[in-house]
């Protein structure tokens, strides 16, 4: 398994500002992911954070809005840029400690973002 920490755990931000969320894993992992969970909804993948290269974004998500860094095998950041109230969500990072993509993923505690 993997133990994952995220910070901040929550934040309240003003429209038009940006917030960077950090995700730290207690061991080296090949795969890290960023998900969004809007109120009352299930989780949706934003992007796969690739170590040493650009993140791979899902349809509907773009790098300018959600820039991601992955400087090493234990750490990643997600920035939510130029925020609007529609960005109010829980943001979760996850990691797959196995080499195979079909194995279990473990989640960080999440960041609850409210945009006013």
Question: Rounded distance, CA 57 to CA 96, Å?
Answer: 17
Binding site residues, other proteins, CB under 8 A? 1, 31, 33, 35, 41-45, 48, 56, 58, 90, 92, 94, 96, 100-110, 112
The 3-state DSSP class for residue 87 equals: helix
Instruction: Supply angle C-alpha 114, 19, 65, rounded to 5.
Output: 95
Minimum gap (Å) between residue 59 Cβ and other proteins = 10
- CB closer to other proteins out of 16 and 107: 107
> Whose Cβ is closer to other proteins: residue 62's or residue 82's?
62
Give the tokens for residue 54.
């650009």
Neighbouring-strand partners of residue 37: 43, 90
Minimal distance, residue 17 CB to other proteins, in Å: 22
User: Smaller CB distance to other proteins: residue 57 or 75?
Assistant: 57
């Amino acid at each position: 398994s993997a133990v994952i920490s995220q910070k901040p755990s929550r934040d309240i931000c003003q429209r038009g500002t940006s917030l960077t969320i950090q995700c730290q894993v207690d061991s080296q992992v090949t795969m890290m992911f960023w998900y969004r969970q809007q109120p009352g909804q299930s989780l949706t993948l934003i992007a796969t954070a690739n170590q040493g290269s650009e993140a791979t974004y899902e349809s509907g998500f773009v790098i300018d809005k959600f820039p991601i860094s992955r400087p090493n095998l234990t750490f990643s950041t997600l920035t939510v840029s130029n925020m609007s109230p529609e960005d109010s969500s829980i943001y979760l990072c996850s990691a797959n400690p196995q080499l195979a993509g079909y194995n279990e993923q473990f989640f960080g505690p999440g960041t609850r973002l409210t945009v006013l």
